[in-house]
Amino acid sequence: MSNILDKIIELFKWPMAIISLLSIPALLETFSPLYFNFKTWKYVAMGGGFFIFFISRTMADSSIKTSMQITAHELTHAFFALITFHKVKHIKVAEDNSGGQIAFEGEGNWLITIAPYFFPLLAFGYAIATTVYQSFFEVSNSISLIINGFLGYFMGYHIDTVVSQIHEKQTDLPKVSYKFCFMFLPGANLWAIGSILAFNSLGWKGIGVYYNLVCKLNAANWNYLTKLLF
């Protein structure tokens, strides 16, 4: 099953890179106040959490911070291995924090390889946890703002982790090719950040609304480009 799925995923590698690259103008456009009301308390709280992350980052022990990043990195590989039906054998983090390793059954695919460089696993897990919590307990306005604040914290963590992990010594990037990374990762990360902002507004429904918005803006930009050229 996993081998068949890997082959199907491989077929989508370069189409996804092209779509991601062409979507960058639309994705940047979504960050306009026309689509996100950043003046609401939800986003003020989120901005506070985002700011607190970068303050805490400067105070954290470098070895602990590196160990956490490597662990999250390998867990993201493992998460995408599992959802593409690969049995994970083990996850290891070097004692000197020089790197990590994951082993799974099967050949794997580009999505497993590149996942830690665009997918905000901790923010995703936090979103699931808060959804479960809110389904069982009534959430006051103050608690809701705290939830928004932590979401901003995890968004900051994602951005910082991605930036710190993309460098010439990273062994994952050549596996999918630098050309692919250049085409895919900027748009994929903009989509991830936009999705976190959308979740902050309307929960899981907000991510669906955001996806539809990006598709509409892409269509509008494409129509404008074709009229301009032809």
Q: Is residue 108 a contact partner of residue 86, using CB atoms and an 8 Å limit?
A: yes
**Displacement of CA 28 from its chain's centroid (Å):** 16
Per-residue pLDDT at 97: 66
Confidence of residue 90 (pLDDT cuts 50, 70, 90): confident
Q: Which helix (H) or strand (E) holds 181?
A: helix 178-202
pTM tops 0.85, yes or no: yes
Q: Reduce the secondary structure of 69-110 to three states and give it as a string.
A: HHHHHHHHHHHHHHHCCCCEEEEEECCCCCCEEEEECCCCCH
Distance between CA 128 and CA 125 in Å, rounded? 5
**63 pLDDT higher than 90:** no
* Per-residue pLDDT tens over the stretch 92-139: 877 666 677 888 888 899 999 999 999 999 999 999 999 999 999 888
Query: What are the DSSP calls for 122-164, one per residue?
Result: HHHHHHHHHHHHHHHS---HHHHHHHHHHHHHHHHHHHHHHHH
Q: What is the mean pLDDT of the chain?
A: 91
Q: What is the per-residue pLDDT across 212-228, written as a single tens digit (0 to 9) for each?
A: 999 999 999 999 888 88
pLDDT of residue 7: 93
| pLDDT recorded at residue 98 | 66
